[in-house]
Amino acid sequence: MTSLPASGVLLRALVVDDEPLARLRMRTLLADCTAPSASLEAEASNAVQAMEQLQRQRLDVALVDIHMPGADGMALARSLQSLAHPPALIFVTAHAEHAVQAFELEAVDYLTKPVRLERLQAALQKAERFLQAQAGGQRAAESQDVLIIQERGRTERVPLHQVVYFKAELKYVTVRTAARSYILDGSLNELEEKYGDRYMRIHRNALIARRCVQALEKHYDVEEGEGWAVRLHGVDELLAVSRRQLAAVRELVLR
């Protein structure tokens, strides 16, 4: 799910500009912004570095120059659309002639250099509204997703947002909510492919809801011996974490 800063919380920003002085100027301006305020979390001098930063960490807003060596800001904007959680895009450039193209690429604003603090503040407000709308749309889409469970001669609709984990059991999958368990005729691979943005593979036999992760704990399993397990909000049992997935689960817990 999109990580959304509430009003008054820092917007995590990326500045992309091939000119060091321009990045320094933007860093100074961002430090003076309020409501919303912004924290400069990353800088890049070209599009390649920018994508590396965005693949490494979740950022809320990208302030992007257009004319840069190699792939320009427009190319970077098109690449942003491939990300699962793209930042709000604000172009910052000395050239006004690309404004129409910029908005076609879903930029929330277009600033011309030299940028004034008041103008940057207004752009960040647009970015915050964009992120709020994006998060609201995603929540609405998620609330509409349901699993069709056919069990004991009846068909039941289980909202996906209620599912805490999926666990493979022989030829079936156990679907666990906080209230009860269901049996689903399917495979974990199919579920992971369809809902991988919301559920993480922690073991060959289990997917967990990312939003439900509570803690990672040392655990002894009769079959696998000493290892690690994850504790989830809404259920009492622990689920084993494979060594291969341990680093990814630990990172999720620390977010």
Indicate the length of the chain as a whole number: 255
Q: Residue 115, Cα to own-chain centre: how many angstroms?
A: 29
pLDDT in tens, 25-59: 999 999 999 989 999 999 999 999 999 999 888 89
pLDDT of residue 219: 82
Cα dist from 141 to 50, 144, 161, 162, whole Å: 29, 5, 10, 14
CA nearest 40: which of 8, 19, 73, 63?
Answer: 63
- What is the reported pTM? 0.56
pLDDT in tens, 167-199: 998 889 999 999 999 999 889 999 999 898 899
Cα dist from 239 to 145, 146, 255, whole Å: 24, 24, 19
Which pairs from 105-110 meet CB under 8 Å and 24+ separation? Answer: 105/74, 105/77, 105/78, 105/81, 106/77, 106/81, 107/77
Q: Which residues on adjacent β-strands are paired with residue 200?
A: 208
- Residue range 93-119: average pLDDT? 85
Average model confidence (pLDDT) for the chain?
Answer: 87
pLDDT beyond 90 at 226:
no
In this structure, are residues 94 and 66 in contact, taking their beta carbons and an 8 Å threshold?
Answer: no
